[in-house]
Amino acid sequence: MIEFKILDELKPNEEILNVIKDYKYKIIKGKVKTLLHTNLQFIEPTQYIITYPTTLTILEYKVNEINNKTFYIKEHNEKYNLKEIKQILNEISKSPS
């Protein structure tokens, strides 16, 4: 049987929390896990699930990328940086329901 050990639990990003504070949301903390008896490590992203006024799932990956886009919106199938996330959420809040 495959067994994992949690090495670290990732904390939510304070900046994104300030951006989504006006929405209904829930957070699933990310984890750094290792496969027991190996040296393989896995990183589960932190999930910010916005449920109202729209439905969005924002995943935050703690990986250093060249283009600095650490966020991924599941519904859009695209990577974003924090500035782009702010723009998307501003557009959603401005649009009439």
Domain holding 25, by residue range, is 4-94
Query: Mean pLDDT across the chain, nearest whole number?
Result: 88
Band (pLDDT 50/70/90 cuts) for residue 97 is low
Domain count, the chain: 1
pLDDT of res. 58: 94
pTM, two decimals, is 0.84
Q: At 20, phi and psi to the nearest 5?
A: -95, 10
pLDDT in tens, 49-86: 999 888 999 999 876 655 678 899 999 999 999 999 99
**Token pair belonging to 89:** 């959420």
